Chain A
């Protein structure tokens, strides 16, 4: 079937109509994705005066040298990596767990699906505001902790805790999205495999480790990569949490927030583009490493 499709496309007339159909997408992607990427590559090597009398000059690798000396870049990197390292595994495991529960023959599981999925469809800005309220020193979360006799925290004001507060909130709100993806994949695993395994005397754990998890491998790769890309780009939550400052004491400063600060607060577009480039490279490298590990195991 695929062959036939390809052959048809090789005829110039069909190819043309194909491109015409794709034109809206190509134009939009080109204009709003590809072109900005190319421009930002170019910007990273310039110093640009954008307010008032416009001028720019080529400064070679100066922006990148500045970046290595800029303490805030490293703090932002460290915060982001810490955040990614906690969020991605946790949300993947929770998503898988929730999907397994929902895949079992539960009563009223459609209701659970809706309830679990709620946080994902809610706008992250609204969620953050609600959480800010709950994280308030005299708010819901501290009241519950105090009621249970557990220590309470200054979730928003304490630099040691602020990033964790955002971490918890994000795991809670993004895990359900991946749960749905896992759930779809789980329903694709043929029932006959489990039946055959049951006849061979496999228990629930055996089925999980030898049938379910291996079948979910490609989906897990997808979930982890999407999780990485999403978490590396953490911005709106820390922006709202800290009112754009990345405080207290730089503890919620993420790389994207830093890029925003340099681009729109300091109007230093070249430098912001240089940091963005480094971020893009980090995501690409992490994804490649992942891919290597996942394909290694497949062989």
Chain B
């Protein structure tokens, strides 16, 4: 009977929207409880958007029913970093908040012309996961360090145990999505877009990096797409041992722990391509709704969550990594055997972000890249077509 809480005068309730899985939800709720304990004048309503996050969010922003603070992924940020949508945070940030503690590359993803629209709450990068038992079974003792080795190993690791013509385990998991492949485009000096913001990924340098994947799939037949083996993601492929190697994010670690606890695996940095290191990084920020009625309270929440204490609580389980140097040091992730390749990757990673034309470029790339992967047309033709169509659509949408 006493548990029922009555709103006290002077207490404001603010809403926080995000996406989440069960694990993250429990963790965030714990951090939010800590926040409420130290900030008794604020109550936080945590609202989970289960699916199609950006569609739901945009619809709510238009209808002026969006939460006071919400998650924003870097790649979706250019679409909504518009006047009148997000509250600029510059005036709220104090000396004490220590903005310089953030890794600049993640901070930049949420800035436009020196206006800070969001503060990165965490990031993840890609690293190579490899199945130790599979490696042992074909006599490999070391993970690949270069892409040439990866290619050679992938061939060795592809096996058809019962010789029925259907491969039982492939060497490598191929995810034919732009979100995973931008670093390959850059590996030989290519760029996704040119200085005018138009698609430029069909240049010969860009093709060189992408060709590496096509070769694995078409020439060596040592890689599989998720749908080839009846799965929906690289994580599932790796967990079910349909592949021996996968380039995937840290979210795979808790998934394997829960669903495939028997699997023996390790992580290393993405193999070197063209004598250079490269990987992708994904970052998410907390942003403030410009239509929020409780901006001061919302800022208290955001500054707590992206401050040292809140960020340490949030990133303490390693499925995502802290964007503050001080928290990274405190958690000692660079010494953790599974996490260190991801932390190392942050330095040389390509952040998954573009401009407001990203949806068009993404869609055209993904469509045509698949057709090159399955051999309907050459990579050069496919990319040329994707680039032309994308640029035509960009011109038309202006």
Contacts and interface: CB of A to CB of B under 8 A. Distances in A.
Contacts of B229: 137-138
Contact of A265 (B55, B61, B366): B55
Nearest to A50: B62
A154 B231 CA distance: 11
A244 B397 contact: no
B28 interface: no
Interface string A249-286: 11000000000000011111001000000000000000
Interface in A51-78: 51-53, 66, 69-72
Contacts of A245: 363, 366
Interface of B is mostly: helix
B396 interface: yes
In this complex, the member of A69, A136, A159, A249 whose beta carbon has the largest number of chain B beta carbons within 10 angstroms is A249
12 contacts: A51-B58, A51-B61, A52-B83, A53-B82, A53-B83, A53-B84, A66-B396, A70-B393, A70-B396, A245-B366, A249-B370, A264-B58
A156 B228 CA distance: 9
Given A52-B84, A137-B228, A138-B230, A249 B367 contact: yes
B230 A136 contact: yes
Contacts, number: 70
Contacts of A69: 392, 396
A119 interface: no
B117 to A, nearest CB: 12
The 9 nearest A-B residue pairs measured at CB: A157-B227, A52-B84, A138-B230, A52-B82, A137-B230, A53-B84, A52-B85, A136-B230, A66-B396
A66 B393 CA distance: 9
Interface size class of chain B, counting residues whose CB lies under 8 Å from the partner chain:
20 to 34
A157 B217 CA distance: 15
B140 to A, nearest CB: 27
B96 interface: no
A51 B62 CA distance: 6
A214 interface: no
B315 interface: no
A89 interface: no
A268 B397 contact: yes
Contact of B82 (A51, A70, A248): A51
Interface string B356-390: 00010001001110110010100000000000010
Given A52-B85, A158-B374, A265-B55, A139 B230 contact: yes
A264 B55 contact: yes
A51 B367 contact: no
Interface in B201-241: 225, 227-230
Given A53-B83, A137-B230, A138-B229, 8 more contacts: A51-B82, A137-B229, A157-B228, A158-B374, A247-B366, A247-B370, A250-B367, A268-B397
Considering residues B55, B83, B227, which has the most beta carbons from chain A within 10 angstroms of its beta carbon?
B227
B162 interface: no
B59 interface: yes
B113 interface: no
B331 interface: no
B52 interface: yes
Contacts of B58: 51, 264, 267
B266 interface: no
A51 B78 CA distance: 12
Given A51-B85, A245-B366, A249-B367, A265 B359 contact: yes
B63 to A, nearest CB: 10
Nearest to A262: B397
Contacts of B359: 265-266
B373 to A, nearest CB: 10
B80 interface: yes
A53 B64 CA distance: 12
Contacts of B368: 249
